[in-house]
Homo-oligomer: A and B are copies of this chain.
Amino acid sequence: MPQKISENKIIQLLQKRYPSRSPLLKKGIGDDAAVIRPHGSNEYWAITTDMLLEEVDFRFERTTPRQLGHKSIAVNLSDLAAMGVQPRFYTVSLAMPQDINEHWIQDFYAGLTACGSAHGAILIGGDLSSSHNGIMISITALGESLNRKVLYRSGGRPGDLLYVTGTLGCSAAGLKLLQAGNLRPRSQAQRAALHVHRTPEPRCAAGQWLAQSNSIHCMMDISDGLSIDLSRMCAAGRIDAEIRLADIPIFPESHLWNCNPLDLALHGGEDYELLFAVPKAKKKLLEQNYPSDFPQITEIGSLIEGRGKIWISEPGKKRKQHPVRGFDHFRQEMQS
Contact = CB atoms under 8 A, between A and B. Distances in A.
Interface of A: 2-5, 7, 10-11, 13-14, 17-18, 20-22, 24-25, 28-31, 33-34, 36, 38-43, 45, 47-51, 53, 55-57, 88-89, 91-93, 95, 98-102, 105-106, 109, 113, 122-134, 136, 138, 140, 142, 144, 329-330
Given A2-B100, A22-B122, A25-B122, A95 B47 contact: no
A21 B95 CA distance: 26
A91 B131 contact: no
Nearest to A98: B330
A93 B49 contact: yes
Contact of A50 (B10, B31, B33, B127): B127
A93 B132 CA distance: 18
Nearest to A32: B125
Contacts of A134: 133
A25 B133 contact: no
Contacts of A17: 109
A11 B125 CA distance: 9
Given A51-B93, A101-B3, A123 B20 contact: yes
A317 B138 CA distance: 48
A33 B125 contact: yes
A101 to B, nearest CB: 5
Contacts of A25: 89, 122, 124
A129 B49 contact: no
B34 A124 contact: yes
